[in-house]
Amino acid sequence: MPKDPNDAYLATDEPTCSCNKPKHVPEPDHDPQSELQEARDVFWAEQEANDVWEVPIGPFAPWLGTCGEPKTGLESAISHAVRGTPPRVPLILDPSDSHPVDTYYAFRSALVLEAKKIVVDGFQGVRSSENIMEDNRKALINAMKYGQTLYIRMANGATDFLDRYTSPTHFPVDVFDQAAVAEIQTVHTETMIDPATGDKRPGDSLWGTAHPFAAALREEDCEHGMFFARRGFEVVVCSHFTAEDYAEFLGTALPLDKLQPVLALLG
């Protein structure tokens, strides 16, 4: 007797629709976030072993940041420099013709101190030494007051901030000391956050304290006899010199032992 052609179909136990196939279940030990964190740790361990860090600065390196933290290579490098052991003010080396770091800060909440212009103005008699130092002082005070980045743009110059263009009462050399900057960020703000408990309390006024930045304050900079910095204040230095040349040219201009050189990579 010929077999019913439907017998084979009726005898089939497996579903014929591919949509009913079981979905792929990843192995339980596969954790993408853990792998990313491991990659970050390896990357920064390699950088911290070198005198000059080499960091891709754009958003094409998002793995350099984590949730709630900096997302670009530049922001991550700054964050690691200021939180390092010891903490250091970042010195970004931006030697490419397009100078993307300068462009980045041109569109940020930054107060740009044109270091090369200081030398040129002094040489040409455009500003007196007194006026230059007063302008430097105001740049520091306003960056603190309005919570801005004090972006010291060295360009391809070597402005002498070790001696000639710093002073305790106008622009202290401690501007390049991250420990002094961090104290402003954590203590002398309107609201302090206890790192242990997360509790908030009023900060301490900078006016009249022993902090090195306090001597640059004037009474007119204060409100009701008090001065507080806003959150967001930081110090970043940028130079157009290469990783091979910066130490030779800037060694007598900046306290390099207080700075963390970071070479900005475009790709």
Checking if the pLDDT of 80 tops 60, the result is yes
Per-residue pLDDT, 212: 97
pTM check: above 0.75: yes
Task: State what percent of residues in the chain have pLDDT above 90.
Answer: 70
Whether the CB-CB separation of 74 and 101 falls below 8 Å is answered with yes
What are the residue ranges spanned by the domains of the chain? 52-265
Bond prior to 86 in cis (omega within 30° of 0): yes
Round to whole Å and give the CA distance between 75 and 236. 11
Per-residue pLDDT, 18: 45
pLDDT in tens, 84-120: 999 999 999 999 999 999 999 999 889 999 999 999 9
Per-residue pLDDT, 206: 97
User: Which positions ≥6 away from 158 have C-beta within 8 Å?
Assistant: 249, 250, 252, 253
Checking if the pLDDT of 16 tops 50, the result is no
Give ∠ CA 44-46-49 in degrees, rounded to 5.
105
**Residues found in the chain:** 267
Checking if the pLDDT of 28 tops 70, the result is no
Per-residue pLDDT, 13: 46
Round to whole Å and give the CA distance between 156 and 142. 25
Round to whole Å and give the CA distance between 237 and 151. 6
